[in-house]
Amino acid sequence: MAHFLLVHGAWHGGWCWQRVVQALAGAGHRAHAVTLTGLGERAHLLSSTITLETHISDVLGAIEAEEMQDVVLAVHSYAGMLGTAAADRMTSRLRHLVYVDAVVPRPGESWCSTHASTTREARLAAAKASADYSIPPPDPQVFGLSGADCDWVRRRQTPHPGHTYTAPLEFDPARVSSVPRTFVNCTAPALATIDAVRLRVADSTFWGGHWQRGGSAVEMKTGHDPMVSAPADLARLLASYA
């Protein structure tokens, strides 16, 4: 039995992993899906006081509370920031870090650092215009979803705490790279805000060369939400790192 901790991206909640959790549990593993503060069933806690550190604490706290060791940590999209922090601060507790079409920052960067200026400005303007400094969710069609899956995600998405968008993350790439890492590149369709990351993980000089030491990439021919659009395939991939 392996331990899996699954962390959703922006606008989502632990709910988005339910099909993957069921598949991993059916294979005899232990899987726990975190819901970050202010999102999903915790949307009632949404406020302008939520920061990147709040969400990092959610992830580290889940590892502690669930008493997990040798964890396969899967982080989706925005949560790449959180997975990077976890690998930096809880290195010995992680077996493998899986960036599921996720942000892979450089030290000192924020979630928004690799986004086009038009995207960044629009999201910041929306946050400023909201009562709780939050960013409204996009139409899940941009994640390559359609039909019932698209309707399900559209119903469940909630605004995302805006102060997580520009907060920088400091970390030691050498320490993070001591954890084996995989970037899951979702290409059908490829989400534009992840394009810069795709180039990074193929660059031998990324993180001063540290990424290549234990870092790899695999392709999934599905959209940005593979836990919804291809859960069985994603579960099999995650289980291969157990």
Q: Domain map of the chain by residue range? A: 3-239
Distance in angstroms (rounded) separating the CA atoms of residues 183 and 55: 21
Nearest to 163 by CA among 43, 52, 18: 52
Say whether pLDDT at 1 is over 90.
no
> 31: which strand partners?
4
The closest alpha carbon to 83, from 153, 181, 10, belongs to 181
Adjacent-strand bridge partners of 3: 30, 71
Q: Which of 47, 48, 57, 77 is catalytic?
A: 77
Q: Which residues contact residue 181 at a Cβ distance below 8 angstroms, ignoring those fewer than 6 apart?
A: 87, 96, 97, 98, 99, 211, 214, 215, 216
Torsion, Cα 163 168 173 175, to 10 degrees, reads -60
Percent of the residues in the chain that have a pLDDT greater than 70, as a whole number: 100
Q: Which of the listed CATH numbers 3.40.50.1820, 3.30.750.24, 3.30.70.360, 3.20.20.70 matches domain 3-239?
A: 3.40.50.1820
Cis omega before residue 189 (within 30°)? yes
Strand order across the beta sheet in which 181-186 lies: 30-34, 3-7, 71-76, 94-100, 181-186, 215-220
CA angle 12, 32, 69 (to 5 degrees): 130
Predicted TM-score (pTM) of the model is: 0.97
- Give the C-alpha separation, 213 to 172, whole Å: 14
Average pLDDT, the chain: 97
> Is 90 exceeded by the pLDDT of residue 14?
yes
pLDDT at 111 over 90: yes
Beta strand 30-34 with 3-7 is parallel
**DSSP 8-state code for residue 229:** H
Closest to 198 (Cα-Cα) out of 112, 114, 73, 95: 114
pLDDT at 180: 98
How high is the pLDDT of residue 134?
A: 98
Active site residue 216: no
Determine the Cα–Cα distance for residues 182 and 199; give it in Å rounded to an integer.
14
Say whether pLDDT at 132 is over 90: yes
> Which tens digits make up the pLDDT trace of 27-79?
999 999 999 999 999 999 999 999 999 999 999 999 999 999 999 999 999 99
